[in-house]
């Protein structure tokens, strides 16, 4: 934020409901101040029934752009002029850029996760094998952007298997990566859409079964998969405040040194999942990096300037 808001100040912001607890205003305004940019970032509590009019307001008020958060990330799509490939495949937009009267939707959650991996964790996803725990909105954004960044194989493990199968099918149909759905934990919903019921001929080995979607893992098989992957991403809300005592059911003893493990939860900054994974010798990270770099990418899209990453990192509370 500039020392003084002027007649030229460009306005960015956040559309969500609620928005009071967002860290984005602190992060972006610290970056504007640091670079002396005449920009300001404001949080707007946009009620779901006002979303269409709020998006029209981006044009009407000539805002530079906005972030979009819960519950608007999917619902905002019909009101935009254009989507990036990542946003289209993720089915969600968290950043809108307003340029020359056009509104372009980006998904910097997924792209930010990849930038965190490369810049902070020193992990290049190209050619790598990944295990995702969960198949919700965050998993979809992360899976799509890993696949677009060259990840070779994605194993999507989820409680509701049909949801994992849908995400695996999307990756197989729309990206060069190959994906499989994995029942996890090993009970629950086994009802699959008919076209996804084919199993790899050789069982659970991801090298086998061209074009198949579901891995036939019975109890214990996920252990063998854990040993095969380079990266594990925990995308369920288990362990998040105020349920810090919860932890995904996971064979931590199958992790090995050299693997990278990321828990997308960042509050608390060290979850039970991270605690247990650390004992295996794997390199373990929380979700603050993803939060930071989704902001970094949005900042760069709006301003055209290189973001002061460390200034933005220091503006986060943890």
**Positions marked catalytic:** 73
Q: Which is nearer to ligand NAP, 37 or 291 (CB)?
A: 291
Check if the beta carbon of residue 214 is closer than 8 Å to that of residue 198: yes
Give the ranges where the chain is alpha helix by DSSP (H).
24-35, 51-60, 85-90, 108-119, 137-148, 161-174, 221-228, 272-278, 288-303, 309-314
Check if the beta carbon of residue 248 is closer than 8 Å to that of residue 184: no
The site for ligand NAP (CB under 6 A) is made up of 109, 134-139, 158-160, 163, 235-238, 240, 264-266, 287, 290-291, 294
Helices (H) and strands (E) in the chain, counts: 10, 12
> Has 24 been labeled as part of a binding site?
yes
* Number of residues in the chain: 318
Rounded Cα distance, 88 and 13, in Å = 22
Q: Which is nearer to ligand NAP, 225 or 264 (CB)?
A: 264
> Has 162 been labeled as part of a binding site?
yes
Nearest approach, Cβ of 25 to ligand NAP (angstroms)? 16
Q: Tokens for 158?
A: 């989820």
> What SS3 state is found at 58?
helix
Q: Which is nearer to ligand NAP, 186 or 311 (CB)?
A: 186
* DSSP label of 195: G
Nearest approach, Cβ of 64 to ligand NAP (angstroms)? 22
Number of other residues whose CB lies within 10 A of the CB of residue 294: 26
> Has 22 been labeled as part of a binding site?
yes
Nearest approach, Cβ of 248 to ligand NAP (angstroms)? 6
Q: Which is nearer to ligand NAP, 31 or 157 (CB)?
A: 157
> Has 69 been labeled as part of a binding site?
yes
> Has 266 been labeled as part of a binding site?
yes
Where is the binding site for shikimate, in residues?
A: 22-24, 69, 94, 109, 266, 294
Residue positions in the annotated binding site for NADP(+)?
A: 134-138, 158-163, 264, 287
Q: What are the binding residues?
A: 22-24, 69, 94, 109, 134-138, 158-163, 264, 266, 287, 294
């Amino acid at each position: 934020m500039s020392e003084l808001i002027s007649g030229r100040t460009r306005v960015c912001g956040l559309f969500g409901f609620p928005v009071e607890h967002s860290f984005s205003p602190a992060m972006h305004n610290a970056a504007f101040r640091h670079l002396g940019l005449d920009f300001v970032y404001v949080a707007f509590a946009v009620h779901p029934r006002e979303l269409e009019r709020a998006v029209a307001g981006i044009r009407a008020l000539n805002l530079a752009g906005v972030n979009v958060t819960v519950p608007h990330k999917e619902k905002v799509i019909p009101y935009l002029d254009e989507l990036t490939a990542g946003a289209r495949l993720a089915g969600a937009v968290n950043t809108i850029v307003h340029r020359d009267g056009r509104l372009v939707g980006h998904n910097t959650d997924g792209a930010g996760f990849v930038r965190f991996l490369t810049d902070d964790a020193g992990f290049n996803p190209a050619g790598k094998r990944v295990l995702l725990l969960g198949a919700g909105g965050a998993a979809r954004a992360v899976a799509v952007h890993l696949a677009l960044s060259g990840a070779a194989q994605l194993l999507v493990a989820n409680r509701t298997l049909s949801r994992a199968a849908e995400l695996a099918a999307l990756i197989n149909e729309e990206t060069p990566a190959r994906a499989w759905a994995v029942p996890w934990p090993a009970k629950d919903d086994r009802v699959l859409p008919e076209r996804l019921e084919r199993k790899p001929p050789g069982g659970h080995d991801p090298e086998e079964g061209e074009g198949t979607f579901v891995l036939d893992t019975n109890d214990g098989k996920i252990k063998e998969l854990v040993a095969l992957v380079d990266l594990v991403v925990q995308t369920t809300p288990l362990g998040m405040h105020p349920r810090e005592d919860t932890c995904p059911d996971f064979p931590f003893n199958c992790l090995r040194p050299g693997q990278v493990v990321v828990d997308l939860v960042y509050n608390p900054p060290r979850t039970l999942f991270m605690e247990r994974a650390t004992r295996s010798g794997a390199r373990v990270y929380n979700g603050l990096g993803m939060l930071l770099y989704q902001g970094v990418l949005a900042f760069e899209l709006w301003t055209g300037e290189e973001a002061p990453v460390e200034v933005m990192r220091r503006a986060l509370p943890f």
